[in-house]
Amino acid sequence: EKTIDKIAAGEVVERPFSVVKELVENSIDSLADEIVVEIKNGGKSYIRITDNGSGISNDDIGISVLRHATSKIRTVSDLYSLDTLGFRGEALSSISAVSKFELTSKTEGEEMGKTVKISGGTTISEQFTGAPNGTTVIVRDLFYNIPARKKFLKTDKSEGSAITDLITRLSLINTDISFKLIRDGKIIHTTPKNTTELNVISSILGSDFSRSLMEIEYSSDMVDVRGYITNLNYYRANRKMQLIYVNDRFIIDKDISSSIEKAYSTMLPKGKFPGFILYINLDPSEIDVNIHPQKSKIKFNDMKFLEDLLYSLISKKLRSRF
């Protein structure tokens, strides 16, 4: 039974990145407008997520960490539902099965909060505590009880930068929320709440970058495209400054990126990259989201149409500057 739980948890919790992703998504769901993420050693030894959201009531906190408490999912493939961004009702239980886990939460109406401590799936304690409204989750020593899995993790640096990129992606699509990322004691990233996309871009990718941006806007029956692209005088962009969202979901798509880079290719010096933040909206029937939710990929029915559209939109915008 324990082994099965651990294997199932391993399917859900791949690496520190997936823990942070699930926990921050929970914080966003809780309507928090301040989310603090702290990691140490790329999240391997320590992850802490604090939010000021709705909180979990004293009565529900124990249930929230039980597997399937919020759904009736039975197989791993069932975990990935078609109309949501991830698996349901599994994150807290899975994470607490493979770490030293601590959940503290308080709702607005309650006098006291509650802390639940779980190690490797075993509840250690559950007690009342003084706490601010909202939720804090601490995950220590991820995979301490699955050495085989632990061995497969990448370096601290590479896990840490995957998490940094994740917080960047989430910040750019949640401009109402203030995000703060602390990595090995150092503040990497803070954004204000209730602000503009350009302010978020400026606080994360730098004010020089954000000043170099030109706005893109296109709308038709089929697709809306809007966002920002670097101008031809900006040479300091790299591919981490290329962010694409489709229907509010961050994606990585080499074909789309290269059709955009192609629009720049004769106009930027060799070896220089454009930066862009594009928000694309399509009829949901035009995309296939029935794929692994952690891979940030989407299949388009008419890829060629979208590539051609982006190429011509951006070519035109770049030429308009001369």
Which residues would be at the binding site for Mg ion (CB under 5 A)? 26, 91
Nearest approach in angstroms of CB 22 to Mg ion is 5
Residue 180 lies near ligand ADP (rule: CB under 6 A): no
Nearest approach in angstroms of CB 290 to ligand ADP is 18
Nearer to Mg ion, 105 or 257 (CB): 105
Q: 213 with 228: CB under 8 angstroms?
A: yes
Distance of CA 84 to the CA centre of its chain: 14
Residue 62 lies near ligand ADP (rule: CB under 6 A): no
Using the structure block, give the residue that is written with the tokens 């999240």.
Answer: 43
Between vectors from CA 29 to CA 23 and to CA 31, what angle results, nearest 5°?
A: 115
Residue 43 lies near ligand ADP (rule: CB under 6 A): no
CA separation for the pair 48, 139 (Å, rounded): 6
State the binding partner of 42 from ligand ADP, Mg ion, none, CB within 5 to 8 A by kind.
Answer: none
Angstrom distances, CA of residue 23 to CA of 30, 228, 240: 11, 29, 23
CA separation for the pair 203, 190 (Å, rounded): 7
Q: 212 with 67: CB under 8 angstroms?
A: no
State the binding partner of 313 from Mg ion, ligand ADP, none, CB within 5 to 8 A by kind.
Answer: none
Query: Which range binds ligand ADP by CB under 6 A, 7-15, 26-34, 230-238, 274-282?
Result: 26-34
Residue 174 lies near ligand ADP (rule: CB under 6 A): no
State the binding partner of 261 from ligand ADP, Mg ion, none, CB within 5 to 8 A by kind.
Answer: none
CA separation for the pair 239, 251 (Å, rounded): 13
Residue-wise burial string across 263-272, b where 16 or more C-beta atoms lie within 10 A, e elsewhere: bbeeebeeeb
Nearest approach in angstroms of CB 128 to Mg ion is 24
Closest CA to 177 of 211, 207, 203: 203
State the binding partner of 262 from ligand ADP, Mg ion, none, CB within 5 to 8 A by kind.
Answer: none
User: How many helical (H) and strand (E) elements, i.e. helices and strands, does the chain have?
Assistant: 10, 15
Nearest approach in angstroms of CB 222 to ligand ADP is 33
Residue 99 lies near ligand ADP (rule: CB under 6 A): no
Residue 20 lies near ligand ADP (rule: CB under 6 A): no
Nearer to ligand ADP, 26 or 210 (CB): 26
Q: Rule CB under 6 A: which residues touch ligand ADP?
A: 22, 26-27, 30, 51, 53-56, 64, 70, 88-93, 135
